[in-house]
Amino acid sequence: MHLLLVGVSHRTAPVEVRERVDFQARGVAEALGVLASRGSTREAVVLSTCNRAELYVACDDVQPTRDDLVGFVGDFHGLAHADLAPHVYDVSDLDAARHLFRVAAGLDSLVVGEPQILGQVKEAHSVATEAHTVGPVLNRLFHSSFAVGKRVRTETGLGSGAVSVSYAAVALARKIFGDLTGRNVLVVGAGEMGKLTALHMKSQGVHHMTIISRTMAHAARTAEAIGGASAAPWDELDASLGASDIVITATGASAPILTKAHIEGVMRRRRSRPLFIIDIALPRDVESAAGEIEQVFLYNIDDLQATVRENLARRASEMVRAEAIVAEEIDKFGAWFRSRGAIPTVVALRQRFEAIRQAELERLDFKLSALPPEARTRVDEITHLIVEKLLLTPTEQLKAVGDADTVGAYTEALTRLFGLPEEGDAERTDTVEPFNPERRNRPRSR
C-alpha cells in the first residue's frame, strides 16, 4: 500500500483558484463520501483551509489514483482540467508524510509558525474518522503529525512573536494592558486592515468593539463581518474615543484625523486613563506629537513592521530546529511504514503455525479425549503458548527491518521455507499434513 498526497496551495495557485477548490464550501464530509464512492482509494483525509486543499490517501497504485484524484477535484468543484492541472502537486509515501509533518509544524504555512494549522489538521482527521474513511495507515500518519506539531511548538520558538502587522498590534496591546479581556476597542475605518486587526483583538476576548466610518453603511458591514461588534456614526467619534481603551485607526484620509490637541481634549475627559492607539494607516491618521501626551501609547505601522521583521528573523533561526524534529519523526514513521510490507507474511506464518497446531490436536484427539475438560483446555493453552513463543522473535525481527529490499528477501525466504501462500493465493490451511514422528524412521520408496 502507498501513501499519496494531491493538493493545491498558496505555493502553487493564486487565490482565485484556491477559492474554487475550497472543500469547506460544500462540506468536507460530503467530499469524502464522493471520493470514497469512486473506489480508487482505501483511506482518505481532506485538509481544506484558506491556503490549501489537500487530499491524503492510502492506495494500491499511485499513478492511476493520482489521475483519479485530480479528476475528482475538478468534478467536485466544476473546474476544468486545464484550469486546475497546472496548479496541482503530488508526492507519495514518505515524501507525502514529510509534507504533512511540515504542514502540521507550521513550516509550510504562508506565515511560518502560525498556530492555527495544527488544529485544522486535527479537525481534518476528525471529520474523516467520523466519515469512516481512515484506517491504520492514515491514522498512524496523522497521529504522528500531531506529535510533530506539538514537539515543534514546545521545543522551538517557531510560533512565538507576531509576524503580521495586525497581530503585532495585538501583541503590543497585551504588553500595555496585559490581559485584554474586558477592554473596549474602537476601530476607525472600515477597510480590510482595520477589520483584520479587529478580528485578532476579538480573539483575545475584548469586552466590546465599535466600528466608525465616514460611511455608516461601511461601518455596519464591517461590524457584521466581525461579529459581536457595533457600528457608530462619524459624529460620535469623540464619545467613542472617550469610552475606549484601544483605538485602531485605518482610514484612507489624506491628512491626520486625530491631532495632538484633539487627543488632549479626549484625555482630559478620561482623567488620564491610559489610551492605546494603533495607527496602521498610510498616510498616518494620528499626529505623531500625540504620542507625547502622558498615558497615550501611540504606535504607527513602521513600529509594527519593525516588530514583525525582528520576529521573522527569530523564527528563521528556529526553522532549523523544527526541520530536525520533522526529520526525526519521519525516521520513526518510515520504519513503521516500511515494516508494513512484512505484515502479510507475518499473518500467513502465524496462520500456518496455527493450522499445524490445530491439525496435531485433531490427530491426537482420541488420546486427549480421556483427559478431563480442564486438562484438555490446559493442553490447548500450552500448545498455543509454544507457537507464540516460537514466532515472537522472527516476527519482531521481521517488523524491525527498515530496508524494503531486506524485507522482501526475508518474506520470500519465509514463504519458500514454510510453504506460505503467495500474494493473491487462497490460504492453504486445509492441506496441512499432520506431523508424524514415525515418518523419520520409515524406509523411503525407491
Amino acid at 88: V
Ranges assigned E (strand) in 78-131:
89-92
The torsion defined by the Cα of 337, 338, 343 and 349, in degrees rounded to 10, comes to -160
The contacts of residue 25 (CB under 8 Å, 6+ apart) are none
User: What count of other Cβ atoms lies within 10 Å of the Cβ of residue 58?
Assistant: 23
Amino acid at 277: I
User: What count of other Cβ atoms lies within 10 Å of the Cβ of residue 422?
Assistant: 8
Cell 492541472 sits on residue = 85
For residue 323, give the H/E element and its range: helix 301-339
Q: What positions carry a catalytic annotation?
A: 50
Determine if residue 39 is left, alpha or beta; phi over 0 gives left, psi from -120 to 50 gives alpha, anything else beta.
left
SS3 helix, strand, coil % of the chain, rounded to 5?
Answer: 60, 15, 30
Q: What is the DSSP letter of 8?
A: E
User: What count of other Cβ atoms lies within 10 Å of the Cβ of residue 444?
Assistant: 4
8 A C-beta contact, residue 266 and residue 257:
no
The length of the chain in residues reads 446
Q: Which three cell numbers stand for residue 375?
A: 486438562
- What gap in Å lies between CA 440 and CA 411, rounded to an integer? 29
